[in-house]
Amino acid sequence: MNFYYATYTVTETHDFGTESRGKFNCMVKADSVKEAESLVMRRARKNMTTIGYKGALAINVEIMETVGY
């Protein structure tokens, strides 16, 4: 089990085009890079829904660093 530091970028698509909604950082605990990407994607979708974005969201996840213990 490792900690993965990730950055995700969110773009919202709606009737008038696309708008960048920001670049965010987070850290997740996972067994593999693939699982870490999945957890970050889930967190990104939840965060965007919580703050009220209703358009189609494109989420780009980049795992920056692995921190083992």
Taking only the tens of pLDDT, the chain with its 69 residues reads 899 999 999 888 777 888 888 899 999 999 999 999 999 999 988 888 787 776 677 889 999 878 876
Query: Rounded distance, CA 23 to CA 14, Å?
Result: 19
What DSSP line would sit under 16-49, residue for residue?
TEEEEEEEEEEEEEESSHHHHHHHHHHHHHHHHH
Q: What is the DSSP letter of 58?
A: E
Q: What is the DSSP letter of 51?
A: T
Q: Give the residue extent of every domain in the chain.
A: 2-67
